[in-house]
Structure 1
Amino acid sequence: MTEPLLQVKNLTKRFGGVAAVSGVSLDVFPRETLAIIGPNGAGKTTFYNMLSGRMTPTEGSIVLEGTDITGLPPQRISRMGVSRSFQINNIFSEMTVRENVEVALSAYHGHSRRWANIATRNKPIQQEADSILERLSLSDLAHRRAGVISYGDKRLVEIAVVLATRPHLVLLDEPTAGMTPDETHRVTALVKSLASTGNYTFLITEHDMRVVFDVADRILVMHRGQSLVLGTPQEVRAHPEVRRAYLGDADEEMAP
């Protein structure tokens, strides 16, 4: 049997006397796409913050490929193969699209982070950036300033920056939030295409249930900081409490 890429055991985060996440355990396997859903306040962001090192758990452990990463700083966790996108664009607006990717590649390879020198002094980084942009169908925007491109394209650039760190595990935080239907389709198709290569494992938080049921191999439903249901899309869709509390009309729209 395949060993988990990520093992989360009894993960808990308390703020004072309030548990934002309480006793969540989860195995994530290589090359799968696992979605995390639940209402605002369910603990999804806090869970992500602990996985990526932005918060230290109160209790529990996080093991990545056999190594305990619990409480390590974000930079070390990123170097070990965990990269995260955020709900809000996390790119440099004054740089070009390609320069944004070059900055991430430069940091990954341990080169100088003097951004003005990246494009002129390191052709391999330039070429690697171009390859990533081509993979994400962003080549036409390579020389445009990131601050003036569309919102959907900005999210794709952020994913390009994430991929530049060569992650084993990609944490996508509301990747289609605020997007038009066409933009949502592009991101959904991209995630499915990247997952099909076998090189990436995805954790995705997402409110759009159509996206969730389209891309996820398994779904974790969180409720008040706890794991309510973990299963295949079919199992989650059939769970009466999940249907009543979270799917509702959206589930009816997705029914064949």
Structure 2
Amino acid sequence: MTQPILQVSHLTKRFGGVAAVLDVSVDVLPHETLAIIGPNGAGKTTFYNMLSGRMTPSSGKVTFEAQDITGLPPHRISRMGVSRSFQINNIFNEMTVRENIEVALTAYHGDSRRWYNIASRNRPIQQEADMLLERLSLTDLAVRRAGVISYGDKRLVEIAMVLATRPHLVLLDEPTAGMTPDETHRVTALVKSLAATGDYTFLITEHDMGVVFDVADRVLVMHRGQSLVLGTPQEVKMHPEVRRAYLGDAEEEIAP
């Protein structure tokens, strides 16, 4: 039997007397893509913050690759192989696309001081940056300033920076938010392509149900901080509680 890469056990986060996340448990299998959906206020961001070390759980446990990472700081969790993108682009607009990726690679390899001089004379980092540019179809934008490229391309640069940390588990937070249909298609195709390599396990929060049902192997539905349903996209799509609580029982909204 395949051992989970991530085990979340009875995870809870309280703010005063209010539970933003309450007793959520889920096992994530290696190389799968698990989507986490739910209405605003369902607890998805708080859940992500606890997994990535930005918040300490009130109770419960998070185990990654058989190691307890509960409450560890973000940099230690990242070093162990868990990396996260954010809803808002987290890139350096005044730098080129290649320089952004070199920053992430230089930090990953352990010396972020005077990063530009280090990267400019470090051939292995340059080569690794070029490989990531090619993998994400960003080579043509390598010398463009990141601040002037399209929103969709900025999200791809951020994903490239996440991959530069060589994660085993990638947390994508609303990766297609604010995108045009063409940009959404590019990001969706990229996630599917990366998942197909078998190099990564993905957790993805997403409001676009078309994206969710296209990329996810399983879907966790959260509602009012709790786990409502966990199952395949088809099981979730047809679940009556999900349709009432989140999908609005509107077939056209959830058609794959």
TM range (shorter): over 0.9
Q: State the match for 2:234 in structure 1.
A: 234
Change (3 A) 1:33 1:55: same
Q: State the match for 2:29 in structure 1.
A: 29
Distance 2:170 2:69 in 1: 16
Distance 1:57 1:113 in 2: 32
Distance 2:81 2:112 in 1: 21
Distance 1:251 1:167 in 2: 36
Residue 254 of structure 1 deviates from its aligned partner by 4.8
Q: State the match for 1:74 in structure 2.
A: 74
Distance 1:28 1:241 in 2: 23
Residue 110 of structure 1 deviates from its aligned partner by 1.0
Residue 249 of structure 1 deviates from its aligned partner by 6.6
Residue 111 of structure 1 deviates from its aligned partner by 2.7
Change (3 A) 1:67 1:142: same
Structure-to-structure mapping, 1:1-256, within 5 angstroms: 1-248=1-248, 251-255=251-255
Q: Secondary structure at the match of 1:129?
A: helix
Q: Secondary structure at the match of 1:156?
A: helix
Residue 119 of structure 1 deviates from its aligned partner by 3.5
Q: Deviations over 1:36-87 (max 9, x none)?
A: 0000000000000000000000000000000000000000000000000000
Q: Deviations over 1:80-101 (max 9, x none)?
A: 0000000000001111101111
Q: Which is further off, 245-254 or 129-138?
A: 245-254
Distance 1:220 1:178 in 2: 23
Aligned length: 256
Change (3 A) 1:118 1:145: farther
Change (3 A) 1:114 1:249: farther
Change (3 A) 1:126 1:251: farther
The answer as to whether partners of 1:176 and 1:187 remain within 8 angstroms in 2 is yes
Q: Secondary structure at the match of 1:159?
A: helix
The answer as to whether partners of 2:194 and 2:200 remain within 8 angstroms in 1 is yes
Distance 2:142 2:151 in 1: 15
Q: Secondary structure at the match of 1:62?
A: strand
Residue 250 of structure 1 deviates from its aligned partner by 5.7
Q: Which is further off, 102-111 or 168-177?
A: 102-111
Distance 2:97 2:81 in 1: 23
The answer as to whether partners of 1:102 and 1:118 remain within 8 angstroms in 2 is no
How many percent identity over aligned positions? 85
The answer as to whether partners of 1:168 and 1:199 remain within 8 angstroms in 2 is yes
Q: Secondary structure at the match of 2:156?
A: helix
Two-structure CA RMSD over aligned residues (Å): 1.2
Change (3 A) 1:250 1:109: farther
Q: Deviations over 1:146-173 (max 9, x none)?
A: 1111000000000000000000000000
Q: Deviations over 1:184-213 (max 9, x none)?
A: 000000000000000000000000000000
The answer as to whether partners of 2:106 and 2:119 remain within 8 angstroms in 1 is no
Distance 2:83 2:253 in 1: 33
The answer as to whether partners of 1:209 and 1:250 remain within 8 angstroms in 2 is no
The aligned amino acid for 2:107 is: A
Unaligned 5+ runs, structure 2: none
- TM-score, normalisation: structure 2: 0.97
Distance 2:191 2:20 in 1: 29
Q: Deviations over 1:6-41 (max 9, x none)?
A: 000000000000000000000000000000000000
Unaligned 5+ runs, structure 1: none
Distance 2:224 2:96 in 1: 41
The answer as to whether partners of 1:103 and 1:113 remain within 8 angstroms in 2 is no
Change (3 A) 1:240 1:188: same
